[in-house]
């Protein structure tokens, strides 16, 4: 098999993410390589996801190669590399030729690679702009829980024209290009893969059968098993704007910059927010002392006594992820959650912290 080195490296960089270094089944650390009729198909799986990519290639091959080792080996030395990679298999050994240098890698029998999930009866779910879906997933991913004892929070739910995630301390919601008839609950790994792969022009096709979702974009195909857990009802978690009488509009970049400045001079993630004519952010570190910074507001309906509450600064930064303009901070009481509304229908709910 002869294939462009740069294209092969880019494909393997993503496929290797699915290949654990110490898998329960040895072949899961390998990538299935099948080439014929001018196309090479590379596939990796962790038994929950199955990710494949098609590349132009010459020759024929059918084998399984160690994913991370191969990815490291074929990585180009420069961005302008136009060389090719040649791979052939003899017995249980693969000869990988790069720049006239041959490296021998162990190869496994492709028959041992997990077969693809039965995809008969796939029905079209949506045809969306790929970049819009990628941006929605990228916004909600920071709020996904990594607590395996709470599996109903460890994923991204696509429901009612929205993507949503929560870890119990904050919730992120982003608008999807359009609604879908049936909700789909993506495992975090699948959502993260799609956020990276779909960050491009063009369209993405989503199809589903039972608990299997297939996503196709350009030369990439992702099959993922959907989570069976029930995601918390979004509308019961997101406080209505009408219940939060005070709002402040702020430049998102200024808020993120101020939070970043405080993070450099304190080991504490807790920040006190004071709202009056401006937004004042302050921290208190027993070792480094106190720090305070203020940012102006674009507009506000705040009147009366200062609003004072504590929040996790990292959560506030994540709430501004990808926000280019202004954001509205909707305030209740000092013990009520903060609601952040920004462009594109994005909403973040951040629970307060004790100060």
Equal fold, 2-112 vs 123-236: yes
Domain extents in the chain: 2-112, 123-236, 239-350
Contact 104, 94 (CB under 8 A): yes
What is the reported pTM? 0.91
Write down the CATH number for the domain with range 2-112: 3.10.150.10
User: What are the tens digits of pLDDT across the range 243-299?
Assistant: 888 899 999 999 999 999 998 887 778 999 999 989 999 998 877 778 899 999 999
Residue with tokens 């654990």: 20
Q: What is the pLDDT of residue 313?
A: 93
Q: How far is CA 326 from CA 39, 77, 85, 277, 340, in A?
A: 47, 41, 48, 17, 10
Compute the distance between CA of residue 90 and CA of residue 98 in angstroms, rounded to an integer: 17
Q: What is the pLDDT of residue 147?
A: 94
Contact 202, 217 (CB under 8 A): yes
Give the tokens for residue 250. Answer: 């702020």
User: What are the tens digits of pLDDT across the range 45-55?
Assistant: 999 999 999 99
Q: What is the pLDDT of residue 185?
A: 97
Contact 178, 190 (CB under 8 A): no
Residues contacting residue 257 through CB under 8 Å, at least 6 positions apart? none
Q: Which CATH architecture has domain 239-350?
A: Roll (3.10)
Under DSSP, the state recorded for 20 is: -
Compute the distance between CA of residue 42 and CA of residue 47 in angstroms, rounded to an integer: 16
Residues 85-90: contacts with CB within 8 Å, 24+ apart?
A: 85/2, 85/3, 85/4, 85/5, 85/8, 86/1, 86/2, 87/1, 87/3, 87/33, 87/61, 88/1, 88/59, 88/61, 89/61, 89/63
For residue 277, the tally of other CB atoms under 10 A from its CB is: 11
Write down the CATH number for the domain with range 123-236: 3.10.150.10
Half-sphere exposure of 219 (CA within 13 A, CB side): 13
Q: What is the pLDDT of residue 117?
A: 67
* Low-confidence stretches of the chain (pLDDT beneath 50): none
Compute the distance between CA of residue 111 and CA of residue 119 in angstroms, rounded to an integer: 19
Q: What is the pLDDT of residue 263?
A: 85
Give the tokens for residue 201. Answer: 């022009």
Contact 343, 302 (CB under 8 A): no
CA–CA–CA angle 99, 34, 9 (5° rounding): 40
For residue 284, the tally of other CB atoms under 10 A from its CB is: 15
């Amino acid at each position: 098999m002869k294939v462009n080195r740069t294209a092969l490296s880019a494909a393997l960089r993503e496929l290797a993410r699915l290949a654990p270094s110490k898998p329960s089944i040895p072949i899961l650390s390998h990538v299935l390589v099948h080439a014929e009729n001018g196309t090479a198909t590379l596939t990796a799986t962790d038994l929950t996801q199955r990710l494949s990519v098609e590349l132009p290639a010459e020759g024929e091959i059918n084998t399984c190669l160690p994913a991370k080792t191969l990815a490291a080996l074929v990585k180009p030395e420069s961005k302008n590399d136009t060389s090719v990679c040649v791979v052939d298999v003899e017995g249980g050994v693969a000869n990988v030729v790069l720049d006239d240098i041959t490296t021998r890698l162990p190869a496994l029998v492709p028959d041992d690679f997990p077969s693809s999930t039965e995809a008969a009866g796939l029905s079209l779910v949506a045809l969306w702009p790929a970049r819009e879906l990628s941006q929605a997933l990228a916004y909600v991913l920071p709020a996904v829980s990594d607590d395996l004892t709470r599996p109903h929070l460890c994923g991204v739910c696509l429901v009612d024209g929205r993507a949503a995630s929560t870890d119990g301390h904050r919730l992120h919601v982003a608008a999807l290009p359009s609604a879908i008839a049936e909700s789909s609950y993506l495992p975090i790994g699948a959502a993260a893969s799609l956020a990276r792969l779909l960050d491009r022009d063009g369209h993405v096709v989503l199809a589903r059968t039972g608990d299997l979702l297939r996503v196709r974009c350009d030369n990439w195909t992702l099959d993922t098993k959907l989570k069976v857990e029930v995601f918390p009802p979004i509308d019961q978690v997101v406080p209505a704007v009408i219940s939060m009488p005070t709002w402040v509009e702020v430049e998102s970049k200024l808020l993120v910059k101020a939070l970043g400045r405080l993070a450099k001079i304190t080991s504490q993630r807790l920040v006190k927010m004071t709202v009056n004519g401006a937004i004042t952010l302050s921290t208190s570190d027993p070792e480094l002392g106190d720090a305070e910074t203020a940012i102006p507001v674009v507009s506000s309906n705040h009147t009366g006594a200062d609003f004072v509450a504590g929040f996790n600064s990292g959560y506030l930064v994540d709430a501004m992820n990808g926000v280019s303009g202004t954001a509205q901070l909707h305030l209740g009481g000092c013990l009520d959650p903060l609601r952040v509304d920004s462009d594109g229908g994005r909403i973040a709910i951040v629970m307060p912290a004790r100060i």
